[in-house]
Amino acid sequence: MESQRSFSAIVLHAHLPYVRHPEHRRFNEELWLFEAITETYLPLISMLERLAEDGLRHCLTLSLSPTLLTMLEDPLLKARYQEHLQRLGALAREESRRLRKEAGFGPVAHFYRERIEAIRKQWEAHNGDLISAFSTLRAQGVAELITSAATHAYLPLLRADPASIRAQLQLGALTFRRFFGVPAEGVWLPECGYFPGLEDEIARAGFRYFFVDSHGIEQATPRPRDGVTAPLVCENGVAVFGRDPLSSRLVWSREEGYPGDPLYRDFYRDIGFERPLDALHPFLLDGQSRIHTGLKYHRITGPADDKLPYQPEIAARRAELHAEDFLARIAHAAREGKARGDGSPSIRVSLYDAELFGHWWFEGPLWLEAVIRRQMLERKEPALVTPSVYLQGVRRLQCATPAASSWGDGGYNAFWLNPDTDWMYPLLHQAGRQMQTLAKRFGQEKPDSLAGRALRQAGRSLLLAQASDWAFLQRTGTAGSYADRQVRAHLQRFDYLRACLEDQALDERRLQALETMDHIFPEFDPAIFAEPSLA
Known catalytic residues?
A: 191, 353
SS (H, E, C) 301-332: CCCCCCCCECCHHHHHHHHHHHHHHHHHHHHH
Please identify which residue in 22, 106, 227, 272 interacts with another protein, judged by CB under 8 A.
22
Q: Which is nearer to another protein, 185 or 469 (CB)?
A: 185
Q: Which is nearer to another protein, 119 or 491 (CB)?
A: 491
User: Shortest Cβ distance from residue 233 to another protein (Å)?
Assistant: 5
239 near another protein, judged by CB under 8 A: yes
Which residues from 166-185 bind another protein, rule CB under 8 A?
A: 182-183, 185
Which residues from 263-302 bind another protein, rule CB under 8 A?
A: none
Q: Which is nearer to another protein, 236 or 444 (CB)?
A: 236
User: Quick check: 406 and 191 in contact, CB under 8 A?
Assistant: yes
Please identify which residue in 282, 516, 533, 534 interacts with another protein, judged by CB under 8 A.
516
Biggest CA pair distance of the chain:
76
Span from 105-113, 114-122, 155-163, 277-285 in contact with another protein (CB under 8 A): 155-163
422 near another protein, judged by CB under 8 A: yes
User: Shortest Cβ distance from residue 324 to another protein (Å)?
Assistant: 19
The full DSSP string for 61-115 is EEEE-HHHHHHHH-HHHHHHHHHHHHHHHHHHHHHHHHTTT-TTTHHHHHHHHHH
Q: Which is nearer to another protein, 414 or 534 (CB)?
A: 414
Roughly what angle, to the nearest 10 degrees, separates helices 66-73 and 162-180?
Answer: 40
Residue 285: what are its φ and ψ, rounded to 5°? -65, -40
DSSP single-letter state for residue 264: S
CB burial of 264-285 (b: ≥16 within 10 Å; e: otherwise) equals bbbeebbbbeebeeeebeebbe
367 near another protein, judged by CB under 8 A: no
Span from 43-51, 274-282, 292-300, 509-517 in contact with another protein (CB under 8 A): 509-517
Q: How far apart are the first and last CA of the chain?
A: 48
User: Quick check: 365 and 43 in contact, CB under 8 A?
Assistant: yes
User: Quick check: 297 and 303 in contact, CB under 8 A?
Assistant: no
449 near another protein, judged by CB under 8 A: no
Please identify which residue in 16, 389, 439, 462 interacts with another protein, judged by CB under 8 A.
389
Q: How many residues bind another protein (CB under 8 A)?
A: 97
80 near another protein, judged by CB under 8 A: no
Q: Residues 331-360: x/- map of binding to another protein (CB under 8 A)?
A: ----------xxxxx---------------
User: Shortest Cβ distance from residue 215 to another protein (Å)?
Assistant: 8
Q: Please, which contacts does 124-130 make with residues 24 or more away whose CB atoms are closer than 8 Å?
A: 126/45, 128/78, 128/81, 128/82, 130/37, 130/41, 130/42, 130/45, 130/72
6 three-class SS: strand
Please identify which residue in 237, 260, 302, 477 interacts with another protein, judged by CB under 8 A.
237
386 near another protein, judged by CB under 8 A: yes
User: Shortest Cβ distance from residue 441 to another protein (Å)?
Assistant: 16
131 near another protein, judged by CB under 8 A: no
Please identify which residue in 353, 489, 506, 525 interacts with another protein, judged by CB under 8 A.
489
Please identify which residue in 90, 118, 160, 314 interacts with another protein, judged by CB under 8 A.
160
DSSP single-letter state for residue 206: T
Separation of alpha carbons 32 and 67, rounded Å: 13
Span from 16-24, 266-274, 302-310, 467-475 in contact with another protein (CB under 8 A): 16-24
Roughly what angle, to the nearest 10 degrees, separates helices 424-442 and 162-180?
Answer: 70
What kind and span of H or E run contains 346?
strand 346-353
Burial of 287 (0-12, 13-18, 19+ CB in 10 A): exposed
441 near another protein, judged by CB under 8 A: no
Q: Which is nearer to another protein, 101 or 395 (CB)?
A: 395
Q: Give the chain's length.
A: 535
40 near another protein, judged by CB under 8 A: no
Q: Residues 82-111: x/- map of binding to another protein (CB under 8 A)?
A: ------------------------------
User: Shortest Cβ distance from residue 379 to another protein (Å)?
Assistant: 6
| Sheet strands (E) in 177-336 | 186-188, 209-212, 232-233, 239-242
Please identify which residue in 404, 439, 455, 479 interacts with another protein, judged by CB under 8 A.
404
Please identify which residue in 104, 260, 282, 393 interacts with another protein, judged by CB under 8 A.
393
User: Shortest Cβ distance from residue 89 to another protein (Å)?
Assistant: 26
Separation of alpha carbons 220 and 261, rounded Å: 36
385 near another protein, judged by CB under 8 A: yes
Span from 116-124, 201-209, 271-279, 321-329 in contact with another protein (CB under 8 A): 201-209
User: Shortest Cβ distance from residue 7 to another protein (Å)?
Assistant: 9
User: Shortest Cβ distance from residue 214 to another protein (Å)?
Assistant: 13
